[in-house]
Chain A
Amino acid sequence: PSHSKSKRASGFDMAPPTSNLMSSAPGQGFQDQLPGMPQPMSALSQSMFTGGSAQLGSL
């Protein structure tokens, strides 16, 4: 049986559930993802919700 070629839904523009934006399910939040690096991560999430991006630290 040939594998269906029907298009998967792309993950682009899949918004987060509104109640889930900052706190989150395990593995979803930046804080959960990288517990060893709280500083750059919180800076990241602050600036990304205020629209700034120029000063983000590279990882």
Chain B
Amino acid sequence: CSRLHTKPSISPTLLLANMYQRPDMITPGVDPQGQPLDPTKIQQHFEDFYEDLFEELNKYGEIESLNICDNLADHMVGNVYVQFREEEHAAEAVRNLSGRFYAGRPIIVDFSPVTDFREATCR
């Protein structure tokens, strides 16, 4: 995959790039200070993030699908994909989220061409 994906001018689906950072992102199972991390803590961290995202995004419209990548490879790492029922709600979310921060990092939000996550693979 060239990673040069088409970017629609409007879409019900948004991509929030690199938004989720695993607590063990440097070394799997280990925190940045080198201390072993309890797997349940890692899961809780992810679920807290998911809850934050859902509660915020749900303000802008009904959510069809919310996918968060918690992989550790460099491709798509931490990407959040949210599909709204309505394009206008996605556009409203873009307007509201642009320029804001999450956990000390800027939110990078744009429309995504994905409309069916079962078929969402690069070709």
Rounded to whole angstroms, the CA-CA distance of A2 and B81 in the bound complex is: 33
Asked if residues A28 and B108 are in contact (CB atoms below 8 Å), the reply is no
How long is the Cα–Cα vector from A54 to B26 in the complex, in angstroms? Answer: 30
List B4-59 residues whose CB lies under 8 Å from chain A.
Answer: 4-5, 7, 15, 17-18, 21, 25-26, 32, 48-49, 51-52, 55-56
Name the distance in Å between A6's Cβ and chain B's nearest Cβ. Answer: 13
Q: Is the CB of B48 within 8 A of A48?
A: no
Residues of B within 8 A of A (CB): 3-5, 7, 15, 17-18, 21, 25-26, 32, 48-49, 51-52, 55-56, 74-77, 79, 98-106, 108-110, 112
Identity of the chain A residue whose Cβ is nearest the Cβ of B99 in the assembled complex: A51
- How far does the alpha carbon of A49 sit from the alpha carbon of B99 in the complex, in Å? 9
Contact B32 A26 (CB under 8 A): yes
Interface residues of A, dominant DSSP? loop
Interface string of A16-28 (1 = CB under 8 A from B): 1100100001111
Contact yes or no, B102 A12, CB < 8 A: yes
Please give the residue numbers on chain A whose beta carbons come within 8 Å of chain B beta carbons, in ascending order: 8, 10-17, 20, 25-28, 30, 33-34, 36-37, 44, 48-49, 51, 53-54, 56-59
